Each structure stands twice: as C-alpha cells, then as structure tokens.
Structure 1
Amino acid sequence: MEFKELFPVWNQLTQAQQETLEKAATLHHFEKGARIHSGSGDCVGLLLISKGLLRVFTCTEEGREITLYRLFERDLCLFSASCMLHSLQMDVYVEAEESTAAYLIPPQIYQKLMTSSLPIANYTNELMASRFSEVMWLLDQVLSKSFDARLAAFLLEERDVEGRDDLHITHDQIARHLGSAREVVSRMLKHFQAEGLTETARGTILLKNCEGLERLAGTARR
C-alpha cells in the first residue's frame, strides 16, 4: 500500500507538505521478533505500518516485559521517535510480532511539519493523548484487576488478533505481554482448563468457552 493511502491526514496537507513527507518516508521490512526500538536512547523515527503487527512494551524493575499496546495496519508509532517526546519518563521498546512492513519517517522532518501543519499537529496531539490513555488504563488493570481476569481478557484480545479460537502462542509469550512469570500463566491456564474455559496443547491454546472468558474478563476487556 502506498504511503499516501496510509497517512491519516494526507488529504488535509498542502502539496508541498505531501511532497516533503513522500520523499522522506522510506519503506522498511522487519522480520518477526525483530527489535525495532530499544528504549529512550534510541530514536529510529516514526513508523507508519503498511502491514503486519508491532508490539510496544516496557520492562519492570525486575526485568519483566509488559505490553502497553499493539499497532496494526495504518497505525503510526510515535514512541520509536523518542527524541521527539521530551517528557517521556520511561524506556519503551518496539518489536515486530509478525513480519511487518512500515514506512519510516525521519523525526526531524516530522517535527518541522508539525510546526507548519495544523492537521498534523492536531492529529499527533490526539494520538499522544490516546496512547497515554491506553497506558493509564493498563496501569489501572495491573493495580486493580485479578490476574485471572487480565489473562481471560488477553486471550480474547489474542483471538481478535489471530481471528480464530486456537491460539498459536506460548505461556512465555503470554507472560511477557502481561508482565508476569511463565509459571503463573501456566498455573492459571491449568485452572482455566479444569473449568472448561480453555484447552492447552504444546504451543497452542484452544478457547472452548468464550462466553465464560468474557464473564471472567469483565471490565478488563479494552
């Protein structure tokens, strides 16, 4: 898909601004598992996803990963340009969950356009507010929701991402998403299986009772 078809406010830009963006943006391909952005000291640039799936996460003091949110086709990743976000107080990492194609926009080009284009400035501010809201929502879930509710919500979210009830995901991967330990995930999945909610095999988890998972997840669902 061409850059101009993906950029959110393309039709609101002047011809000169469109030409600047189109000339500066370069298409990159990332293999599954590739680390694209590695904390606050890294400033790759903004990523506009053409296809694939990116995971944005941070790490706890104990070194456990916890997913902040995921980015899909047409989403714009701001945290990969951390040098633009002077108020960012934590290390944020970005990796490809699937083989991904994304346009890379140099941060200095985007910053200049933000000062000259009200549509870009407004869109960026709205996007930052939305991402901040997602992070605050996640923090509330971690602090106030039980782990079984969070796990149920994650399994249902993963079903939406994969588009099927048999999920190809390991206990370790789930632990990394939820900021937990693999052993905790395994114990809870055994409990889910005993309750008839899921069935676990090597490398896969079958969701057998999605309605039961929905009830368990409750307000932990996004």
Structure 2
Amino acid sequence: MLEELKEAYGFIFEDELIEEIAQVGSLQRINAGEKIIEIGDYVKMMPLLMEGAIKVMREDKDGDELLLYFLERGDTCAMTLSCCLGQTKSEIRAIAERDTKLIMIPIEKMEEWTSKYKSWRDFVFESYHARLNEMLETIDTIAFMNMDQRLMKYLQDKAKINQNEIIAATHQQIAYDLHTSRVVISRLLKKLEIDGKIKLQRNSIEIMEL
C-alpha cells in the first residue's frame, strides 16, 4: 500500500505523512455502482481516492437525485470532511462510478495532521476550494444552460472520468443524474445523434465530440 500511496499522493504529501497514512489507513475496494456513503450516515472515516472514480449526488425532498461532481484519483470529498469534523450526518450520496480503491482515514488523524503537516492543511483547503468550484459550476449549468447543453456536458464529463468514449448507461440512469425525466433524455439524445455529436447503441452511448 505504501508504494501505491507514494504514486498517488507523493507529489502532495511528505514521506512522513505518507508513512502515517499507510500505518493507520484501511484499504477498501468498491465495485462500480456500489454506495460508499449514504445520505443520513454518520461519517467517521475520510476517503482518499487511490484508483477509480466516484460520483457525488444530492437528493431533494421528493427523493430525486442530482449529480454534484465526480472525484478522481488523488481527490477527497470536501463534504465528507465537513461531516467528519463536525460529526454531523452526511447530506450527500457517494457511488462508485467505476471499480474504485480507497484508503479510509480515521477522523482523529485528520485533526492531528492539520496541525502537524502543512501539506495536509493545504490539501484540505484545496479540496474545499476545488469542490466549491465544481458545485458552482453545477449551479451555473442548471441556471444558464439548456438541457441539451447540460446533457452533452454530462456525457463528455462522464467519458473523461471513465477514460472511455463509450458510456454504459441507460436513459433512465442519465435522467436520475440530471434530475429530469427519461422521456426528455431520450428525445435529447436522439437530437444529439442527429447532430452527429453522439452515436446511440443498446444501453450505451458513444461520444463523438470530446
């Protein structure tokens, strides 16, 4: 695990911190589609993403979901940090976008390392900043983009996260992520195909414009 940590975080953390992470962290492997954090859970461990990708969702009072952002290797979730430090319930749902490897850090170490290691403090603050910017981008997308623009951006982002121009997803799954109906998504996907931006296949979509 130490060598994997150095490869994923060696450019961020000093060797002493990486060694501590290897000593106290627990390695977890999550299959694509599995939940990592559920809304209402108390979060007592902070995840460091070693491999794979995670999508972070918000839920409204009717139970409908909205995609907030994706996490990739070298990331952590700022909203998880807030829940850990504040000892509050999670307000997000985190799902593995593809097979994922995490190192889970105990909450007490998060507080200790904040005062002990400058690189850790910088990492935490930069994580808050990055996730805030991504949420602002999500708000801008909802407020200022048409649904067809939102859909195309979503498909492009998903292809980049999965490192594959072919996306395995049903129209209903996409509708959940974008907080709209399957009928709307199916109509817009057909329009994007006519425009030459995508190619529809059975339960998958090939992105022609990345």
- TM-score interval for Structure 1 and Structure 2 normalised by the shorter chain: 0.7 to 0.9
Conservation of the 8 A alpha-carbon contact between 1:174 and 1:185: yes
Cα offset, 1:124, TM superposition: 0.6
Equivalent residue pairs, number: 207
Q: CA deviation at 1:28?
A: 0.7
Q: Distance in 2 between matches of 1:100 and 1:118?
A: 28
**Which amino acid letter does the alignment assign opposite residue 5 of structure 1?**
E
How far, CA to CA, are the matches of 1:89 and 1:2 in structure 2? 31
RMSD: 2.5
Which residue matches 1:26? 26
TM-score where L is the length of structure 1: 0.81
Matching residue of 2:91: 91
Offset, 1:90 = 7.5
- The separation in 2 between residues aligned to 1:22 and 1:89, in whole angstroms, is 27
Q: Deviation string for 1:109-150 (max 9, x for gaps)?
A: 111111222221122112101111110111121112110111
Does structure 1 retain, via aligned residues, the 8 Å contact 2:42–2:89? Answer: no
Query: Which one has a larger percent strand, Structure 1 or Structure 2?
Result: 2
* 1:187–1:44 distance in 2 versus 1, CA, 3 Å: farther
Distance 1:76 1:148 in 2: 30
1:105 counterpart residue number: 105
Q: Is the 8 A contact 1:44 1:81 kept in 2?
A: no
Residues 127, 163 of structure 1: CA spacing in aligned structure 2 closer, same or farther, 3 A cutoff? closer
Counterpart residue number, 2:8: 6
Q: Distance in 2 between matches of 1:30 and 1:164?
A: 20
Partner SS, residue 79 of structure 2: coil
Task: List runs of 5+ in structure 2 lacking aligned partners.
Answer: none
Paired with 1:137 and 1:71, the residues of 2 have a C-alpha distance of: 15
Secondary structure at 2:98's aligned position in 1?
Answer: coil
Within the alignment, does 1:124 sit opposite 2:127 as a pair?
Answer: no
Q: Deviations over 1:66-109 (max 9, x none)?
A: 11111122222343344335498981111111111111111211
Partner of 1:159: 159
TM-score (norm 2): 0.85
The structural deviation recorded for 1:152 is 1.2
How far apart, in 2, do the equivalents of 1:206 and 1:19 lie?
42
Q: What does 1:27-176 correspond to in 2, within 5 Å? A: 27-86=27-86, 91-176=91-176
Q: For 1:176-205, what per-residue CA distance to the aligned partner results, in whole angstroms no more than 9, with x for missing partners?
A: 222222221112112223334333232012
Cα distance in 2 between the residues matched to 1:42 and 1:84? 8
What secondary structure, in the 3-state scheme, does the structure 2 residue paired with 1:138 have? helix
The CA deviation at 1:158 is 2.5
> CA 1:40 to 1:82, structure 2 compared with 1: closer, same or farther past 3 Å?
farther
The percentage of aligned residue pairs carrying the same residue is 23
Relative to 1, partners in 2 of residues 1:4 and 1:83: Cα closer, same or farther, differing over 3 Å?
same
Matched-pair contact (CA < 8 Å) for 1:47–1:78: no
Deviates more, 1:122-131 or 1:84-93: 84-93
